[in-house]
Amino acid sequence: MKRRKLEPSIHTNLDRESDYTAYLQLDKLLDAQIPLSSPAHHDEMLFIVQHQVAELWIKLAIHEIEAAMDDLRADDLPMAVKKLARVKHIQNQMYNQWTVLDTLTPSEYAQFRHVFGRASGFQSPQYRLLEFLMGNKSRSILKVYEQQPEWHERLEDALQMPALFDEFLAYLSRQGRAVPAAVLKRDFSQARNDHPDVVAVLREIYENPRDDWASYEMCEALMDMANNFQFWRFHHMKTVERIIGHKTGSGGSSGVSFLKKALEIELFAELIQVRTEIGS
């Protein structure tokens, strides 16, 4: 077997404050997987790591979306599109990791499901913030976070502020597009009904893409995100169905039936509607 010699220039005399482990806080990160089953069930580690990794990807997605919204407010559309292109790939990672959890069988899961009590991914404040940023807002959900003041405040702020699509529409208005004032100046904590004038603005962009290629790319970036979010939701639902069937969810929901309802929620609905009108 061939062996690779350690090159003399490689740093080996590192203190614990400046090496790879310290930079990534690996001691803290790798100590965060604490099974509650006793004796520890082998498959509980998979369940913990799966969800912790998902939370890290969600953290990065939030980081990129919030930065893209800053870019939109600064009228820097190309930079916003660049960041949302990264979000699409983050979502791909989140989607693909379901296949690892799919290896967990019902009998394996049943042996440790009881240990996390009423804890559920439904309660994830990061997931809720991600939904708020993408426009799926609900004031009633905030009660889940009343015992987490910092998250409650952050979610309240996101509830009141424009979401990603709102910022895009505001950008289009500043560029001279005929976005209705009722869409731009409203209570952003409330769900907005689809507006035919917004569809008309999007149709103009799609039918004349070379006149405003950056906005055209932005529309497609948003559609990528919306579709990937639905793909993720669908695989989540099928993974839950595969592992627990139609049992009640750990957080008290109806389980699979509850998750199916989320598939009916359309993000950026006017971007779907415009597809019906193009070419007709």
pLDDT, residue 187, reads 95
Question: Span 50-69, mean pLDDT?
Answer: 98
Annotated binding residues, as ranges? 47-51, 109, 113, 236
pLDDT, residue 200, reads 97
pLDDT, residue 248, reads 87
Question: Which residue, 182, 162, 192, 177, is CA-closest to 270?
Answer: 192
Annotated binding residues for heme, as ranges? 236
Per-residue pLDDT band at 179 (split at 50, 70, 90): very high
Question: Span 169-187, mean pLDDT?
Answer: 97
pLDDT tens profile 74-113: 999 999 999 999 999 999 999 999 999 999 999 999 999 9
pLDDT tens profile 221-233: 999 999 999 999 9
Helices (H), the chain: 20-23, 26-30, 44-73, 77-96, 98-101, 106-110, 125-133, 149-160, 164-174, 181-184, 196-207, 213-244, 256-262, 269-277
CA gap 208, 111 in Å, rounded: 58
Average pLDDT for the chain: 93
Question: Span 172-191, mean pLDDT?
Answer: 96
Q: In this prediction, what percent of the chain has a pLDDT beyond 90? A: 80
CA gap 186, 45 in Å, rounded: 46
Q: In this prediction, what percent of the chain has a pLDDT beyond 70? A: 100
Annotated binding residues for substrate, as ranges? 47-51, 109, 113
For each of the domains in the chain, give its residue range(s) and CATH number, in order of start: 42-242+253-275 (1.20.58.480)
pTM: 0.93
pLDDT tens profile 6-56: 788 878 777 877 888 999 999 999 999 999 999 999 999 999 999 999 999
Q: How many CA atoms lie within 13 A of 48 on its CB side?
A: 18
